[in-house]
C-alpha cells in the first residue's frame, strides 16, 4: 500500500473498531440485561428482536440504494454517527419503557436498534469494501478491527453488567463520539475511479438498476443461501442467557460469557486476516458453502453437548465461519453482479434477508426456548442450515462463470482478476 492507501485503511479500520465497540457496549449482553435486570421472558425478548429485524428489513434496502446513489459521500454515515452517540441515552430509558408496555418498547427498540446497528453496519461494511477496491487494500484486514472492537467492548461489558449495566451504555455513547471525530477526518476528495464508481458525486444508479436484480436467477440463488446462513443471528440472540445458566450463579455466568465472547471475537479478528487467502484459494462459492457447513455444525453441536466447556467450544466455531462468510459474500457479489450496486446488493441480498428470517424466527425461537428448551430448538435451527446449504451447492454460480457481461450490467474482461 502507498501512503494514501495506508491512511484510508487506518481511518476505516478505526471506524469499524468504534462502530463495533459502540454496538457491543450497548447490545452484546442485551439478552442477559433483558432477562435479569428488566425481567422479561424469552418469548418477550424474541418479540423485541423480531421488531428490531423488521425495522432493519425496511431500512436496509433504503440505506443500500441511498449509499449507492451517494457513491463515496459520507452523508449517510454522518446520520449513523449521530445515532451511535444517542445509544447511551436511549438504552438508559429503554428499560422503563419496556416495563410500562412491552409492545411500545419493542417498536421503539426496533426503530432505534434496527436503523442504527442492524442496518447501519451494512452501510459501513459496504463503504469500506468499496474503498478497499479503489485503494488496493484487503477488506478483511480492515474488518478485522471491527471484530477487535466488539471483543474489547464485550470484555469490559462482562465486568460492568455485574456492577451497573448503565456503565456500558455510557461507554457506548463515548465510543460514538470518537466514531464521529474519525469520520470527520476521513477525506473523500482525492480518490480514483474504479469499476465505474465515481468519487465525490452520485453514481449513475437508478431505481430500475436496483430492481433489475429481482429478475436475475443468480440473485435468488444467493437469497436461498442467505436464508439458511442468517439463522446464526437468531441462534446468537439469546445464547448469552443460555450460557449463563450453565454456571452456579448468573453473575459468574455473565462474567464468563464476557470472557468467552471476547476470546471468540479476538480469534475472529485473526480469521479476518487469514480468510482472504483461503477464499482466494478455494473460490467464493466454496467459501460460502464451507462457512455454512461450519455454522450448521456449531448450531447442532450446541444442542448435543453439555457443560460450559463443550458449549464454549461450539460457540468458538463462530470465529471460523464468520470471516470466511463475509469475505466470500463480498467476493461472490463482485464476481457475479454489477459492482455499482455493491451496497444495495449487500444490504438487500444479505442483511435484508437476514432481517426477514430473524423477524419470523425470533419469536418462534423464543417460544421454543420457553416450552421445549434450548437444545431441541438449536437442533431444528441446525437442520434448516443443512437444508439450505445442500440446495445452495446446486444453485450458486461457480467461480468459472464469474465476470461475464452479466446481462449488460457489467462490461469487464472475463479473465481479469478481481481483488476482494
Q: DSSP secondary structure string, 264-282?
A: HHHHHHHHHHHHHHHHHHH
CB 180 within 8 A of CB 85: yes
Residue among 225, 252, 212, 268 nearest 65 (CA) = 212
Q: pLDDT grade, residue 416 (50/70/90)? A: very low
The reply to whether 381 falls in a domain is yes
Q: Is residue 42 part of a domain?
A: yes
Given a cut of 80, whether residue 205 has pLDDT beyond it is: no
Residue 418 has pLDDT above 50, yes or no: no
Predicted confidence band of residue 408 (pLDDT cuts 50, 70, 90): very low
> Residue 314, Cβ neighbours under 10 Å: how many?
19
The helix/strand/coil state of 183 is helix
SS (H, E, C) 368-403: HHHHCCHHHHHHHHHHHHHHHHHHHHHHCCCHHHCC
Closest-CA residue to 409 (of 221, 219, 217, 213): 213
For residues 182 and 57, is the Cβ–Cβ distance under 8 A?
A: no
pLDDT at residue 342, rounded to an integer: 62
Q: How confident is the model at residue 22 (pLDDT cuts 50, 70, 90)?
A: very high
Here the CATH number for the domain that contains residue 32 is 1.20.1250.20
pLDDT at 190 over 50: no
Length of the chain: 420
Report the domain count for the chain: 1
Domain that holds residue 127: 3-401
pLDDT of residue 241: 77
pLDDT in tens, 161-183: 888 888 999 999 999 999 999 99
In a domain, 103, yes or no: yes
Please give the DSSP secondary-structure letter assigned to residue 411.
Answer: -
What is the DSSP annotation of 62-126? HHHHHHHHHTT--HHHHHHHHHHHTHHHHHHHHHHHHHH-HHHHHHHHHHHHIIIIITHHHHHHH
Q: Other C-beta atoms within 10 Å of 418: how many?
A: 15
Please, are residues 225 and 352 in contact by the beta-carbon 8 Å criterion?
no
Q: Within a domain: residue 408?
A: no
Mean of all residue pLDDT scores within the chain: 80
Residue 137, classed as helix, strand or coil, is coil
**Arithmetic mean of pLDDT, 269-297:** 88
Contact between 154 and 261 (Cβ < 8 Å): yes
410 within domain boundaries: no
With residues binned 3-state (H G I as helix, E B as strand, rest as coil), the percentages for the chain, rounded to 5, are 80, 0, 20
Summarize pLDDT for 130-171 with one digit per residue, the tens: 888 787 777 778 888 888 898 888 888 888 888 888 899 999
CB 289 within 8 A of CB 281: no
- Report if residue 413 sits inside a domain: no
Q: Give the mean model confidence (pLDDT) for residues 270-291.
A: 88
Residue 127 pLDDT > 70: yes
Beta bridge partners of 197: 194
pLDDT recorded at residue 347? 62
Q: Is residue 412 part of a domain?
A: no
Q: Is residue 225 part of a domain?
A: yes
Amino acid at each position: 500500500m502507498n501512503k494514501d492507501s495506508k491512511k484510508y485503511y487506518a481511518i476505516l479500520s478505526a471506524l469499524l473498531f468504534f462502530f463495533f465497540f459502540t454496538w457491543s457496549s450497548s447490545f452484546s449482553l442485551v439478552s442477559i440485561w433483558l432477562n435479569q435486570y428488566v425481567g422479561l421472558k424469552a418469548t418477550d425478548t424474541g418479540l423485541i428482536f423480531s421488531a428490531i429485524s423488521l425495522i432493519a428489513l425496511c431500512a436496509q434496502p433504503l440505506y443500500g440504494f441511498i449509499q449507492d446513489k451517494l457513491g463515496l459521500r459520507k452523508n449517510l454515515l454522518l446520520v449513523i454517527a449521530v445515532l451511535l452517540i444517542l445509544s447511551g441515552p436511549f438504552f438508559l430509558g429503554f428499560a422503563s419503557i419496556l416495563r410500562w408496555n412491552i409492545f411500545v418498547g419493542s417498536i421503539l427498540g426496533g426503530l432505534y436498534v434496527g436503523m442504527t446497528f442492524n442496518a447501519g453496519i451494512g452501510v459501513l461494511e459496504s463503504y469500506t469494501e468499496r474503498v478497499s477496491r479503489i485503494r488496493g487494500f484487503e477488506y478483511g484486514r480492515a474488518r478485522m478491527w471491527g471484530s477487535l472492537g466488539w471483543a474489547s467492548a464485550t470484555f469490559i461489558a462482562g465486568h460492568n453488567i455485574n456492577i451497573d449495566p448503565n456503565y456500558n451504555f455510557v461507554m457506548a455513547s463515548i465510543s460514538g463520539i470518537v466514531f464521529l471525530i474519525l469520520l470527520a477526518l476521513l477525506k473523500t476528495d482525492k480518490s480514483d475511479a474504479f469499476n465505474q464508481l465515481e468519487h465525490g458525486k452520485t453514481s449513475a444508479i437508478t431505481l430500475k438498476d436496483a430492481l433489475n436484480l429481482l429478475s436475475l436467477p443468480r440473485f435468488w440463488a444467493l437469497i436461498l443461501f442467505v436464508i439458511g446462513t442468517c439463522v446464526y443471528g437468531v441462534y446468537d440472540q439469546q445464547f448469552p442467557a443460555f450460557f449463563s445458566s450453565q454456571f452456579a450463579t448468573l453473575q459468574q455466568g455473565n462474567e464468563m460469557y464476557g470472557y468467552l465472547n471476547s476470546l471468540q471475537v479476538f480469534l475472529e479478528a485473526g480469521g479476518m486476516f487469514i480468510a482472504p487467502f483461503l477464499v482466494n484459494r478455494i473460490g467464493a462459492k466454496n467459501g460460502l458453502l464451507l462457512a455454512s457447513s461450519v455454522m450448521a455444525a456449531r448450531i447442532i453441536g450446541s444442542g448435543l453437548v453439555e457443560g460450559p466447556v463443550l458449549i464454549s467450544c461450539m460457540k468458538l466455531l463462530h470465529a471460523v465461519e464468520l470471516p470466511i462468510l463475509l469475505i466470500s459474500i463480498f467476493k461472490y457479489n463482485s464476481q457475479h453482479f454489477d459492482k455499482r450496486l455493491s451496497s444495495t446488493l449487500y444490504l438487500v441480498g444479505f442483511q435484508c434477508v437476514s432481517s426477514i428470517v430473524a423477524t419470523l424466527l425470533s419469536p418462534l425461537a423464543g417460544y421454543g426456548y420457553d416450552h421445549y428448551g434450548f437444545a431441541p430448538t438449536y437442533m431444528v435451527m441446525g437442520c434448516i442450515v443443512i437444508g439450505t446449504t445442500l440446495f445452495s451447492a446446486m444453485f450458486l454460480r461457480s467461480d468459472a462463470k464469474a465476470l461475464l457481461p452479466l446481462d449488460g450490467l457489467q462490461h469487464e474482461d472475463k479473465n481479469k482478476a478481481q481483488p476482494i
